[in-house]
A and B are shown apart, each in its own frame.
Chain A
Amino acid sequence: MPQSKEVWTSRLGVILAVAGSAVGLGNFLRFPGLAAQYGGASFMIAYFLSLLLLGIPIGWAEWTMGRQGGLAGYHSSPGIFHATVRHPLGKYLGLLGFIIPVVVYMYYVYIEAWCLGYALNAATGTFSVAGVDYGQFFATFTGAGADGVALHFGLHDVGLFVLIVYACNFYFIFQGLSKGIEFVCKWGMPILILIALIILARVLTLGTPDAAKPGQNVLNGLGFMWNPRDVAAGLKNPQLWLAAAGQIFFSLSVGFGAIITYASYLKKKDDVVLSSLTAAACNEFCEVGLGGLITVPAAFVFLGAAGIVGQGTFGLGFNVLPFVFSKMPFGDFFATIFYLLLFLAAITSSLSMLQPGIVFFEEGLGLGRKAAMGCLALLTGLGTLMVWWFSKDLKALDTIDFWIGTVGIFIQGMILIIVYAWHIGIEEAWRETHAGAAMRIPGFYQPVMRYIAPTFLLVVFVLFIAANVFGWNFSFGAAAKFTPTNYVTDLVGPKASAVARGSFAFMTAVILLIAWLIHRAGLNWARQSKGNHP
């Protein structure tokens, strides 16, 4: 394979690009909700153990395999697995590393458009108008109220913003690795952290805004988030472990297909150990150090515990927080920069979802950059249009997110760590990881990467499927109950949803198409290697 001309211009650039890929809405909206729900200390113990035993080691594996594949001339997940596994079926192990970012982009860009739209609406004072119904605004803006209602293009509709973010993403991707992705992340990530620090300062100085409700103050808000409940009982709760390990896994974007592609542009002696750890640390700082101190305390101060409990990621971010900001002094300003922060977090992530697809079309099918971008824009555009139109209850978005953006990532993460520790072999993989390393990984990570991480991930995955597909109540014996969740009943049975079925059929069609494209790419790669070795 010919070597790619694209390279990172600096070590910090690739670290910020990977961190940018990882830092997303989950850092500021999902993590705080989970930590508050499962009670401070016990959740954080499970969370940090998952970070040390799952997130960081799989990150090292992904960076190493990416660099190794890049040195063989491949930058897409199928290509990297083709080069690493050296078996005719090896390229298919990278199938999900191509499918996940492409399919997740289809709905993620839609959420990215919400962030930009909310920022502009906050800047123009929409949220501070007396009597505004934030739930109704969200339902109309995102189309969660009814199918088709979001396909409009005013300031209070998402349409215009979908077009803007699509144009932005493809413009920066067209600029290439260093002038596009690296440029956006080098500026975007520091700005994101700066904005978060400004908002954090505002939240921590809110005091007791309503003298009639002295209990609703910042300290109690922090307490609601961090106060430990029964730690021993918490740690015996499998749902807590599932939530903590899942949050680490999804937050760090390991197994997603983005890190492996980004790392493939490293040179032979470029460090991966410290770079991977730094990107993970940046993500954790944004999640725990910033997200953990902003969202829940701010909401608590104005709404109390009742306003937070039961709110999901979107409910907290797009229903509760606009109300919270409207009650704050200079609320419009803080709402604007908060949604800009979410937009920056989203755009750095969405760029990382496009690069794996573009590079596959280039290296697998021999397309030029413009043609590759055209193919990817067409494919993702179809998916986005489906999510955009079938927006009632965000059903299409939710279905795709669950089956590809959640189940798929678990499977790809498992494949990654098994190929690293068992196929390459832990000794050789360890040497490869340490080539050019700026720091040594402690020796105990060898058994962690070989035995503990795959087992831990498998247990979490089985628990996840048992709970979220089969509806297991985490009891044994006679008390055990299985009530299939809506992800199953939406697809089969009398309550099946046509939109969920259509979304599932669309995903299946995309998977089959991509599998066929990978087959074609494999033929091209085989021809090229025969040409190189007559």
Chain B
Amino acid sequence: MTTGGWITMILSVGFVTVLFIYCVCRVLFGKPPDE
């Protein structure tokens, strides 16, 4: 595994994981939209 491989993997997996967790938290704990 080269340094480039580590960077590609961490950025790719990290991006989708953070996006998923952020979205789920917004859905579960976010304020309901204004009527």
Contact = CB atoms under 8 A, between A and B. Distances in A.
Interface stretch (A127-135, A268-276, A441-449, A476-484): A268-276
Contacts of A12: 27-28
B27 A15 contact: yes
A289 B9 CA distance: 9
Interface in B1-35: 1-2, 4-9, 11-13, 15-17, 19-20, 22-24, 26-28, 30-33, 35
Nearest to B35: A269
Contacts of B24: 278, 281-282
Given A281-B19, A281-B20, A292-B12, A223 B30 contact: no
Contacts of A278: 20, 23-24, 26-27
Contact of A227 (B1, B13, B27): B1
A285 B20 contact: yes
A228 B27 contact: no
A222 B20 CA distance: 22
A269 B20 CA distance: 23
Contacts of B4: 40-41, 227-228
Contacts of B19: 281, 284-285
Nearest to A45: B8
Contacts of B11: 44
A228 B5 contact: yes
Contact of B17 (A269, A277, A285): A285
B8 to A, nearest CB: 4
A277 B23 contact: yes
A40 B2 CA distance: 11
B23 A274 contact: yes
A498 interface: no
Contacts of A275: 27
Contact of A274 (B16, B17, B20, B27): B27
Given A227-B2, A278-B23, A278-B26, 16 more contacts: A11-B27, A48-B12, A219-B1, A222-B1, A223-B1, A223-B5, A227-B4, A228-B4, A228-B8, A274-B23, A288-B13, A289-B13, A292-B13, A438-B31, A438-B33, A439-B26
21 contacts: A12-B28, A40-B8, A222-B5, A223-B5, A226-B6, A226-B8, A227-B5, A228-B5, A269-B33, A274-B23, A274-B27, A278-B23, A281-B20, A281-B22, A282-B24, A284-B20, A288-B15, A289-B20, A438-B26, A438-B30, A438-B33
What are the 9 A-B residue pairs with the smallest beta carbon separation, nearest first?
A: A223-B1, A227-B5, A278-B23, A285-B20, A226-B9, A284-B16, A281-B20, A228-B4, A226-B5
